[in-house]
């Protein structure tokens, strides 16, 4: 063999070996995967049937639906309603290990003051709503990126072999319907809140990609199914239980979040 061919053969062999050793555990079929679902209420299942416990976890949230459809080797739900990056790091990371193959997570909405902002917009004027969203966007620029970076670093440290999928948040509102029902949001308020969600998703996507994780945007799946629209996949203002307010319903988890998770796993 000539020197040139010999060098080429070594190079090809080196590339093959590198690719082979870099292949993550996720390359195995789902039946072999160890799956951990982490995050906040959008992952725990608030808004769906079957919620239980202080974390309001439901088997009908998208992680449970994925588990039922794929029957992985193991599945554990540790997402919790109200979770922030801080509480995730202190209370959920222990579920991860070197054998974890798949992690899904939604996080950041509570750090950005999601509930407080929606409540303010419900009770105040269009101008007051816009001001509250702008206030939270300053926090988003100044503090949230570092919080997300720290969270993603710790997830990777605890689960070095896992495929980590970070899912975003839907735009809550349909902005075309002139009326949004009793105590519903005006169109300017809906646009302000959707703008806030768009900005949060953009910041999150940047940090997800910087961490080397997989980003899954759910806005396409939820398009046309916002609150106030003809076929909403999210609850509007809900009195019983009030925690369901502005969270995905069963269709939102099945056709929105589950579809978004599947889109990056196949």
Q: How many CB atoms lie within 10 A of CB 104?
A: 26
Q: How many helices (H) and strands (E) does the chain have?
A: 11, 5
Residue 247 among the catalytic residues: yes
Q: How would you list the strands of the sheet with 163-167, edge to edge?
A: 74-77, 34-39, 102-106, 163-167, 214-216
Q: Which of 43, 192, 235, 247 is catalytic?
A: 247
All residues at 6 or more sequence positions from 178 whose CB lies less than 8 Å from its CB, including other chains: 187
Q: Which of 14, 41, 87, 90 is catalytic?
A: 41
Nearest to 179 by CA among 190, 169, 168: 190
**Cα Rg of the chain (Å, integer):** 21
Distance spanning both ends of the chain, measured CA to CA: 41
In contact, 39 and 79? CB cutoff 8 Å:
yes
Residue 195 among the catalytic residues: no
The Cα-based distances of 166 to 151, 171, 186, 213 in angstroms read 12, 16, 31, 7
Reduce the DSSP state of residue 74 to 3 states and report it.
Answer: strand
The Cα-based distances of 38 to 102, 124, 151, 162 in angstroms read 11, 33, 12, 13
Nearest to 112 by CA among 76, 143, 80, 70: 143
The torsion angles phi and psi of 214, rounded to 5 degrees, stand at: -100, 125
Residue positions annotated with a catalytic role: 41, 247
């Amino acid at each position: 063999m000539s020197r040139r061919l010999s060098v080429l053969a070594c190079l090809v062999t080196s590339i093959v070996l590198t690719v082979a050793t870099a292949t993550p555990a996720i390359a195995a079929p789902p039946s072999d995967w160890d799956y951990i679902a982490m995050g906040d209420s959008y992952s725990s299942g608030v808004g769906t049937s079957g919620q239980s416990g202080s974390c309001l976890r439901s088997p009908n949230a998208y992680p449970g639906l994925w588990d039922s459809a794929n029957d992985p080797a193991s599945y554990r739900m540790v997402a919790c309603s109200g979770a922030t990056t801080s509480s995730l790091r202190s209370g959920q990371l222990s579920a991860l290990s070197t054998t974890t193959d798949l992690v899904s997570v939604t996080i950041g909405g509570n750090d950005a003051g999601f509930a407080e902002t929606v409540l303010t917009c419900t009770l105040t004027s269009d101008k007051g709503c816009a001001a509250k969203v702008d206030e939270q966007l300053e926090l988003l620029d100044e503090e949230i990126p570092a919080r997300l970076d720290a969270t993603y670093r710790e997830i990777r440290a605890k689960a070095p072999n896992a495929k980590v999928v970070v899912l975003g948040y839907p735009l809550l509102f349909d902005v075309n319907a002139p009326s949004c029902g009793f105590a519903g949001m005006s169109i300017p308020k809906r646009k302000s809140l959707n703008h806030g969600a768009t900005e949060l998703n953009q910041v999150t996507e940047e940090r997800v990609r910087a961490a080397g994780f997989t980003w899954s945007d759910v806005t396409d799946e939820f398009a046309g199914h916002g609150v106030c629209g003809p076929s909403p996949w999210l609850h509007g203002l809900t009195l019983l239980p009030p925690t369901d307010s502005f969270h995905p319903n069963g269709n939102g988890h099945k056709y929105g979040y589950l579809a978004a998770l599947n889109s990056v796993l196949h």
